[in-house]
Chains A and B, each alone.
Chain A
Amino acid sequence: MSEGVGVDLENVWIRFGDFVAVREANVQINGGEFFSFLGPSGCGKTTILRAVSGFLEPSDGNVLIGGNNMAGFGPNERPTALIFQNLALFPLMKVWENIAFSMEVRGASAGERRKRADELLDMIALSGQGDKLPSELSGGQKQRVAIARALCAEPDVLLLDEPLSALDLKLRQHMRSELREIQKRVGITFIYITHDQGEALTMSDSVAVMKAGIIDQIADGKSIYDDPATAFVASFVGENNVFRGKVKSVSKDSAIIETNRTGNLRARISSDNQGKLKVGDDAMMFIRPEALDISTNDTSSDTRIKARVTHSEFEGQSYHVFLEGTEGKEMKMSLINRGEDRMYERGKELYLDFDANQAVALPAGELASE
């Protein structure tokens, strides 16, 4: 298998009239990588995908595929294939005709097309279903046909625009691993657009988190989750408890934040922000629900929070305990179910410990809205 074809966005701006849909995007996607753009709806991620596929030209900057500038090349002239959010299968063509449509366009004979379609149907585990109409297939099967149709064109880069969003939860989770599987097998670059952080984290080699046209962070899933670059990333990816305050003291990689409600707390400074936080700056501190634990110690400390329970939930694999403490919003603590009862009564006071390495201090910024 070859190295794969990479995609570069160089200083890409996309404007619609006065509206800036994408602002100064600089992204390097390596050949053969599974790369995701993650962000809430309207953040510009689909716009970026359309610029890569050629349905849209950037207002400024360049899109490079395999090092070649794609300016002026239409969607049919680029080595990309796009899978649409609603799949856009052709309803009046049989499944095999759908899959082999790109070959039909190139003038391949019916025999060749059928042969290739059948090979692809084998690959997506739909052997013998070629003569059905798309409407006769289930959601997951249609999904796989759309992938096969895109792969049939033998693209160097496959672009996927939230293709799983129409599926139910179970199927979506199943298709995640299947997509990853297919990507490994064909070895081409996948660029995946999603607002679902679970999809982005589980499948991707790299994730770009976007907010209102701006890419906040590009990193692997673990770094995005554990080492967010901005308050938006910290609050958008996964659940997080936020504490607002001011920087009281700061070292190279950690800081003490004087929070508005919860006293002084110690946190690690995320790697992108080291040296940027100064004493007296407005700051935010984030602690994940699973990073909190019940303390057996009740002395005050900069890694301990005292809070009152508002209610508890049991979710099978874990207990979620909600506590008063942070401003405006409840604080959430998730405890793995290890057999003991963790359904705390309303009003009970608890001391919560956390590891300062698992708490992240960031410059104050816009949070993701729920």
Chain B
Amino acid sequence: MDAGFIKEFFKRNGVGMGWFLIIAVGFWVVVLIILPQISMFDFSFRNDLPPPEIGGPKDVYTLKNYQYLIFGADGNPDGYNKTDLAVFGKTLLAAAFVTILDLVLCYPIAYYLGQSTGGGMARLFVLLLIIPYWINEILRAFAFRIIFGDSGVINEMLMVIGIIDNPIDFVRENIALYAGLGYAYILLMIFPMYNVIESLDRNQIEAARDMGASWIKIHRRIVIPYAKPGISSGCTMVFMLSAGALAAPQILGGPSSLWFTQIIYQWFNQSVNWPQGSAFAAVLLVTCIIIVLGVMRLFNVNMGDIGK
């Protein structure tokens, strides 16, 4: 960044706006993202000490918080911390499942919205998608609990139609959880895809049709490759947020299911062991990033494409 660039930056945006951008973005990146994460990492390598001992001779860096996640407490007969690792794995798998579910549900909607000529129908559709988000997340989760409950609408309906005789325990089967999580992030999946598909030239689709391509072929060869940046950006957000969700698993999760974030929450709030919680959180974050980068590599998407 040479002086010319900075000069140009101020000339283009004006002095007031230029400073605002620098300060606001700087504050956002440094104070709200980088510093808290650094202190989290720092925490994760420390011992859990009562306040008077902090800074004392016992306050040294240690790997024991990470060790605990992998091997459990000292003298653990299993050798590995099977409980926490299983929850960790299940959380990631469930997040991947929610991501795929959302992708499958949202792609047709995004395609329809993106390729419709923006008439009244499409606008109504977008509005219908957005309005439910006026209701707060926890309320929505409880609403799902009611809908999926033993005497909820769905069970009642299935029983009236006669498909089932006894109510299905959707909560125990985690169906309510997947539905709630999937529903929570639908917009984050639709809009990035919609944005990209909207800019796809309709003539390309017509040209392919003219050459005899089936709809499957058109999507596989033309629309999906074109929408890839939007697909990956939507998937990234949904995966990250699902893996990091707390409220939905808390409210909608079955009694046997525990989300990794709930364990982190317990470390912070119930056990008041921040270093241990930080280590778990750090592992979740880093693993998620590695998975996302790996999948991007697999599907040949660049980081720059995601911002499109």
A and B interact: yes
Chain A residues at the B interface, C-beta cutoff of 8 Å: 53-55, 74-76, 80-82, 84-86, 88-93, 101-102, 104-106, 149, 153
* A101 contact from B206, B208, B225, B226, Cβ within 8 A: B208
Q: In whole angstroms, how far apart are the Cα atoms of A86 and B205 in the complex?
A: 13
Check if A76 sits within 8 Å of B204, measured CB to CB.
no
Chain A min CB distance to B221 (Å): 7
Q: B203 — which chain A residues lie within 8 A by C-beta?
A: 84-86, 88
Cβ of B207 under 8 Å from chain A: yes
Taking the closest CB of chain B, its distance from the CB of A157, in whole angstroms, is 12
Contacts of B214 in A (CB 8 A): 105
Name 13 A/B residue pairs within 8 A (Cβ), A-sorted. A76-B209, A76-B210, A81-B210, A81-B211, A84-B203, A85-B203, A90-B221, A92-B226, A101-B211, A105-B208, A105-B213, A105-B214, A153-B212
CB-based closest 3 A-B pairs = A88-B203, A102-B211, A76-B212
CA distance A84 to B209 in the complex (A): 13
Once A92-B226, A93-B221 are accepted as A-B contacts, the answer to whether A153 and B206 lie under 8 Å apart by CB is no
Contact across chains for A76 and B206 when beta carbons are under 8 A apart: no
Which chain A positions have C-beta within 8 A of B222? 90, 92
Q: What's the least CB distance linking B81 to chain A, in Å?
A: 46
Within 8 Å of chain A (Cβ to Cβ): is B201?
A: yes
Considering the complex, which residues of chain B in the window 186-233 have a beta carbon less than 8 Å from any beta carbon of chain A?
201, 203-204, 206-214, 217, 221-222, 225-226
Q: Return A320 CB to nearest CB of chain B, in Å.
A: 39
Known: A86-B201, A105-B212. A92 touches B207 (CB 8 A): no
The reply to whether A82 and B217 contact each other, CB–CB distance below 8 Å, is no
Are A90 and B204 closer than 8 Å at their CB atoms?
A: yes
Q: A90-B222, A92-B225, A102-B212 are in contact. List 14 more A-B contacts (CB 8 A).
A: A55-B209, A74-B209, A76-B210, A81-B210, A82-B206, A84-B207, A88-B203, A90-B207, A91-B226, A92-B222, A93-B221, A101-B208, A105-B214, A105-B217
A contact residues around B207 at 8 Å (CB) = 82, 84, 88, 90
- Residues of A with C-beta under 8 A to B208: 90, 101, 105
Give A101 to B211 CA distance when docked, in angstroms: 7
In the complex, what residues of B have CB within 8 A of residue A55's CB? Answer: 206, 209-210
Give the residue of B201, B210, B212, B225 whose beta carbon is less than 8 angstroms from that of A82. Answer: B210
Interchain CB contact under 8 A, B211 and A88: no
Contact between B212 and A106, CB atoms less than 8 A apart: yes
Q: How far is the CA of A120 from the CA of B82 in the complex (A)?
A: 63
Q: Which chain A residue has the least Cβ–Cβ distance from B206?
A: A55
Complex-state Cα separation, A104 to B213, whole angstroms? 9
B221 CB contacts on chain A under 8 angstroms: 90, 93, 101, 104
A84 to B202, CA, bound (A): 11
| Residue count of chain B within 8 Å CB distance of chain A | 17
Q: Which residues of B contact A153 (CB under 8 A)?
A: 211-212
Please measure, in the bound complex, the distance between the C-alpha atom of A106 and the C-alpha atom of B213, giving whole angstroms.
8
**Given A84-B206, A88-B201, A76–B225 Cβ distance below 8 Å?**
no
Task: For A81, list chain B residues within 8 Å (CB).
Answer: 210-211
Q: Which of A53, A82, A88, A104 contacts B204 (CB 8 A)?
A: A88
- Closest A residue by C-beta to B200: A91
Contacts of A54 in B (CB 8 A): 210
A88 adjacent to B206 (CB under 8 Å): yes
Q: Is the CB of B225 within 8 A of A105?
A: no
- Chain B residues 224-282 with CB under 8 Å of chain A are 225-226
Most buried by A among B207, B208, B214: B207
Q: Nearest-CB distance from B207 to chain A (Å)? A: 4
**A91 proximity list for chain B (CB < 8 A):** 226
Do B213 and A75 touch across chains, with their CB atoms under 8 A apart? Answer: no
**Chain A residue contacts of B201, Cβ below 8 A:** 86, 88
Q: Is the CB of A105 within 8 A of B210?
A: no
A55 to B210, CA, bound (A): 8
Separation of A86 and B203 alpha carbons in the complex (Å): 8
Q: How far is the CB of A155 from chain B (nearest CB, A)?
A: 9
Could you tell me which residues of chain B, from 106 to 135, have a CB within 8 Å of some CB in chain A? none
Contacting residue for B210 out of A75, A85, A106, CB 8 A:
A75
Residues of B within 8 A of A80 (CB): 210
Nearest CB of A to B224, in Å = 10
**Cβ of B209: which chain A residues have Cβ within 8 Å of it?**
55, 74-76
Instruction: Find out whether the CB atom of A76 lies under 8 angstroms from the CB atom of B226.
Output: no
A92 to B200, CA, bound (A): 12
Docked pose: A153 CA to B209 CA in angstroms: 12
Q: How far is the CA of A36 from the CA of B204 in the complex (A)?
A: 24
Tell me the smallest distance from the CB of A58 to a CB of chain B, in Å. Answer: 18
Bound complex: CA A90 to CA B211 (Å) = 13
- Do residues A75 and B206 form an inter-chain contact, with CB atoms below 8 A? yes
B302 CB, nearest partner CB in chain A, Å: 14
A82 / chain B contacts, CB cutoff of 8 Å: 206-207, 210
Instruction: Give A158 Cβ to nearest chain B Cβ, in Å.
Output: 11
Minimum Cβ distance to chain A for residue B213 (Å)? 5
Residues on B with C-beta less than 8 A from A105 are 208, 211-214, 217
Q: Within residues 13 to 46 of chain B, which ones have a CB less than 8 A from any CB in chain A?
A: none
A101 CA / B207 CA spacing, docked (Å): 10
- Tell me the complex Cα distance, A149–B217, Å: 17
How distant is B27 from chain A, measured CB to nearest CB, in Å?
Answer: 39
The answer for the CA separation of A106 and B217 in the assembled complex, in Å, is: 11
User: How far apart are A156's CB and chain B's nearest CB, in angstroms?
Assistant: 14
A82 to B205, CA, bound (A): 12
Q: Which residue of B lies closest to A106 (CB)?
A: B212
Cα(A80)–Cα(B209), bound, Å: 12
- A53 / chain B contacts, CB cutoff of 8 Å: 210
Closest chain A residue to B202, Cβ basis: A88
A109 to chain B, nearest CB (A): 16
- Docked Cα-Cα span, A304 to B81, in Å, equals 108
Q: Which of A53, A81, A84 has the most CB of B within 10 A?
A: A84
A53 to B206, CA, bound (A): 11
> Smallest Cβ distance from A348 to chain B, in angstroms?
54
